[in-house]
């Protein structure tokens, strides 16, 4: 395009395009006309040069205005909002920078502050970024600490140590939190600090000109990074050769915003911050012990003891760091889940009623005499005509469940009920819909954890339709005890049904769909029976989870006559550690007495677990998907054989661990329960990635 413009500049202008008033004068002399022509040509050439410059540099200016994170000082006015500081001291307003969006922080760290630096280069890259962006002096800020807030003026910068040189502003403005400080004592404090304070503790005073916008943003990026992203052990990480932004910054930043937007269960958030605190404490202990050890080679008994303690601390710290990385990584967080509060009841069990009577709770918004007669004739009189039963009426199903004691029954009449809380069932109660399933609908409104949380010994739910909205965890979570669901419809929004370790689920003739995660998550050590159930239009149909902890046994699973279809990923996914691959595959015999390995080899499926194909964070591998989609019998056998094979490998891991502890005589029944699997008659079709996949981590 530029070449074409230059060609136009060199071309002679057409006479009709050029207005020359001198030419119209017949009396003009030849010399005068020649001078006029030269002047017009010069003016025309200057105009065309300006046009060329605009064409040549237009894209650069547009790109700078669109993509530059630093902005332009030539623009009039600030693009940031002002924030009035809290407290009784009349501090000036400051820039509001704590409400930046994810992509704004992401772009700042990736493109400007960190780039592709290593963890050991973070401080150098950060200092270079600050030197380019920060105004070196002439701006005011509020210096905030845990003890006081004081108004100061910045007079110089020392970006290499991430500090600013400040002085007090007159008149003296200071807010004390836990002690009394006057202007003289504050000056003494600054003298002791050589007038240098951390940049993270400065909050830039608002300025309408826009001159200090980028200074305020750069300090906010720095403050957020060292508060939420940076870990004190990052600089000594063994993976320092890899891109620090991709390895640590991006997953931690995403986790922060997932927590901020209520996308992570509160139990997982609490566990993450607990692990973070424990890892920080263990790292400080480890560093203190390492610094106290002599640098010279010494073989004293005390030094050897310190060395052993240091190794134990290091192993503990590495274990905590691995757990943190699992939670920080969104893929592993979804696939592996978490085990926090798996055996803790969210609501305390009430037990039997003091009077030892049982109550039948009738839930209905309104009821006619005819409806009451039908209810009495068809349900109440045949099943609850004894003297020990008492009737109570409710208009809200959540209130009825909260009023239940051990052995109570809740009968929900036809209607569309909207609840704003979660059902927590710690006792053995029964929830039953009276009428057709689609006529008895319970819809959840408002944010929360699970819709149904069951911890009772024997909970029964039947003939109900549940609609889930704005939940963080699954629509149904069985933490412990036994839960039976019959003829229910579960319309999910996040994860579907979660069966925790040691819990039991029996789901018969149900329909589950719409989960953005797995339709059913089965944890190790649990019991799950799915018979005649449809699981469809979820991310994955069923996820069977495993953990590196060898103390957990495999889940006991029964799957008969289910239809698992139209899921985005796999129909069934088995999650297991990559360490199982290193163990020689045992010969397993299926329920018909055939050798599982030989059968798999004949079908060409024995290479499912090739360790050379495993990436760092895990991978899903599957058999011939077209073959499995069109042969349900083979799909059932492949899933069954893979679960049996995994159980055998895990048993060998447990034996190996016990041998390392010095236990030479082992009873297989003490190591793990015998795996019981009954998978038959299931139909898999139209699943995006196939019927069965294995995820290694």
Contact 504, 478 (CB under 8 A): yes
Strand order in the sheet with 556-560: 389-394, 358-363, 409-412, 430-433, 458-462, 481-486, 503-508, 527-531, 556-560, 677-680
Co-location of 230 and 105 in the same domain = yes
In this predicted structure, what is the pLDDT of residue 32?
Answer: 46
**Residue 171: is the preceding peptide bond cis (ω within 30°)?**
yes
Q: How far apart are CA 16 and CA 296, in angstroms?
A: 94
Structure confidence at residue 86 (pLDDT): 84
From 328, 349, 366, the end of a domain falls on 328
Using the 8-state DSSP alphabet, how is residue 519 labeled?
E
122 plus 229 within the same structural domain: yes
pLDDT for 354: 83
Residue 270, domain member (yes or no)? yes
Helix 596-603, helix 632-660: angle, nearest 10: 130
Structural domain that includes position 299: 262-328
Examine the domain organization and report whether 188 and 41 are in the same domain. Answer: no
Both 178 and 60 in one domain: the answer is no
141-145's contacts with Cβ under 8 Å and 24+ in sequence apart are 141/94, 141/166, 141/202, 141/203, 141/204, 141/205, 142/85, 142/91, 142/94, 142/202, 142/203, 142/205, 143/197, 143/201, 143/202, 144/201, 144/202, 144/203, 145/201
In-domain check, residue 207: yes
* pLDDT reported for residue 639: 75
Do you know the residue count of the chain?
697
Distance CA 16, CA 20 (A): 10
In this structure, are residues 691 and 570 in contact, taking their beta carbons and an 8 Å threshold?
yes
Supply 499's token pair.
């069966």
pLDDT (0 to 100) of residue 429? 94
Q: Would residue 252 count as lying in a domain? A: no
Tell whether 114 and 216 lie within a shared domain.
Answer: yes
Domain boundary among 32, 67, 102: 67
Rg (CA), the chain: 35
What is the pLDDT, as a whole number, of residue 29? Answer: 46
Token readout for 638 is 């492949």
Does residue 129 fall inside a structural domain? yes
- Same-domain check for residues 50 and 108: no
Check if the beta carbon of residue 443 is closer than 8 Å to that of residue 420: no
Phi, psi (5° rounding) for residue 492? -95, 165
The answer to whether residue 199 is domain-embedded is: yes
E strand or H helix at 30: helix 30-67
108 and 15 co-located in one domain = no
Measured CA to CA, the distance from residue 483 to residue 669 in angstroms comes to 26
Round to whole Å and give the CA distance between 298 and 440: 76
Say if 46 falls within a structural domain: yes
For residues 506 and 655, membership in a common domain is answered with yes
pLDDT of residue 696: 75
User: Which neighbouring-strand residues pair with 202?
Assistant: 143
CA 255 to chain centre: 5
> Do 220 and 105 lie in a common domain?
yes
Q: Which residue ranges of the chain lie beneath pLDDT 50?
A: 1-30, 32, 52-53, 55-76, 338-345, 548, 550, 582-630, 658, 661-675
pTM of the entire predicted model: 0.58
Name the token pair of 417.
Answer: 């009920």
Residues 86 and 59 reside in one and the same domain? no
Q: Are residues 610 and 586 in the same domain?
A: yes
Half-sphere exposure of 189 (CA within 13 A, CB side): 16
What's the domain count of the chain? 4
Domain boundary among 310, 328, 346: 328
pLDDT of residue 647: 66
The per-residue pLDDT for 10 is 39
Going 129 to 131 to 137 to 143, the CA torsion angle's sign is: positive
How distant is the alpha carbon of residue 267 from its chain centre? 13
Considering the domain boundaries, does residue 445 fall inside one? no
Domain annotation covers residue 256: no
Give me the pLDDT at residue 355, please: 78
Let me know: does 645 contact 585? Beta carbons within 8 Å: yes
Residues 671 and 528 placed together within one structural domain of the fold: yes
The residue assigned the tokens 């953005």 is 516
């Amino acid at each position: 395009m530029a070449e074409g413009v230059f060609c136009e500049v060199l071309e002679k202008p057409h006479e009709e395009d050029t207005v020359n008033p001198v030419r119209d004068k017949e009396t003009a002399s030849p010399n005068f006309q020649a001078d006029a022509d030269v002047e017009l040509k010069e003016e025309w050439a200057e105009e065309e040069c300006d046009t060329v410059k605009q064409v040549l540099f237009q894209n650069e200016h547009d790109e700078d205005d669109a993509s530059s994170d630093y902005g332009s000082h030539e623009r009039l006015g600030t693009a940031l909002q002002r924030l009035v500081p809290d407290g009784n001291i009349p501090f000036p307003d400051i820039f509001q920078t704590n409400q930046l969006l994810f992509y704004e922080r992401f772009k700042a760290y990736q493109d400007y502050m960190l780039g592709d630096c290593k963890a050991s280069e973070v401080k150098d890259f950060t200092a270079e970024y600050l030197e380019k962006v920060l105004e070196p002096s002439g701006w005011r800020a509020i210096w905030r600490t845990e003890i006081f807030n004081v108004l100061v003026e910045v007079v110089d910068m020392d970006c290499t140590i991430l500090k600013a040189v400040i002085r007090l502003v007159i008149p003296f403005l200071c807010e004390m939190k836990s002690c009394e400080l006057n202007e003289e004592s504050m000056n003494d404090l600054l003298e002791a600090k050589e007038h240098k304070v951390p940049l993270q503790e400065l909050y830039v005073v608002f300025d309408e000109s826009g001159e200090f916008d980028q200074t305020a943003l750069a300090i906010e990026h720095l403050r957020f990074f060292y508060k939420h992203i940076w870990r004190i052990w990052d600089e000594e990480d063994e993976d320092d050769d890899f891109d620090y932004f991709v390895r640590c910054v991006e997953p931690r930043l995403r986790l922060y915003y997932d927590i901020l937007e209520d996308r992570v269960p509160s139990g997982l958030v609490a566990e993450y911050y607990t692990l973070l605190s424990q890892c920080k404490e263990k790292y400080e202990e480890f560093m203190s012990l390492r610094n106290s050890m002599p640098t010279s080679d010494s073989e004293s008994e005390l030094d050897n003891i310190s060395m052993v303690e240091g190794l134990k601390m290091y192993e503990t710290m590495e274990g905590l760091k691995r757990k943190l990385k699992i939670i920080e990584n969104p893929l592993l967080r979804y696939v592996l889940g978490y085990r926090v509060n798996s055996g803790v009841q969210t609501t305390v069990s009430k037990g039997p009623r003091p009077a030892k009577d049982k109550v039948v709770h009738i839930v209905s918004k309104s009821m006619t005499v005819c409806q009451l007669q039908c209810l009495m004739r068809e349900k109440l009189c045949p099943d609850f005509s004894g003297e020990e039963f008492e009737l109570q009426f409710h208009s809200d199903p959540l209130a009825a469940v909260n009023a239940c004691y051990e052995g109570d029954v809740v009968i929900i009449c036809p209607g569309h009920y909207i609840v704003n809380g979660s059902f927590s069932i710690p006792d053995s109660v029964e929830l039953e819909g009276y009428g057709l399933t689609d006529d008895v609908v319970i819809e959840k409104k408002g944010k929360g954890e699970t819709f149904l949380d069951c911890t009772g010994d024997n909970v029964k739910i039947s003939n109900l339709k549940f609609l889930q909205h704005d939940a963080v965890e699954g629509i149904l979570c069985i933490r412990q005890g036994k839960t039976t669901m019959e003829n229910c419809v579960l319309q999910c929004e996040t994860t579907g049904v979660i069966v925790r370790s040691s819990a039991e689920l029996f789901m018969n003739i149900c329909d589950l769909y719409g989960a953005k995660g797995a339709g059913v998550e089965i944890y190790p050590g649990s019991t799950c029976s799915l018979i005649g159930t449809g699981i469809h239009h979820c991310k994955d149909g069923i996820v069977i989870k495993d953990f590196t902890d060898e103390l957990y046994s495999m889940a006991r699973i029964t799957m008969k006559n289910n239809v698992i279809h139209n899921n985005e990923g796999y129909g069934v996914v088995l999650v297991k550690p990559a360490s199982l691959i290193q163990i020689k595959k045992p010969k397993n015999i299926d329920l018909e007495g055939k050798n599982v390995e030989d059968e798999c080899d004949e079908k060409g499926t024995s290479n499912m677990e090739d360790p050379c194909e495993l990436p760092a964070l895990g991978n899903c591998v599957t058999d011939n998907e077209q073959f499995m989609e069109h042969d349900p019998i083979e799909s059932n056998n492949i899933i069954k054989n893979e679960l049996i094979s995994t159980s055998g490998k895990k048993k060998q891991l447990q034996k190996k661990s016990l041998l390392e502890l010095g236990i030479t005589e082992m009873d297989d029944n003490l190591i793990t329960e015998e795996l019981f699997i009954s998978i038959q008659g299931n139909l898999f079709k139209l699943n995006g990635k196939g019927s069965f996949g294995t995820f290694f981590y």
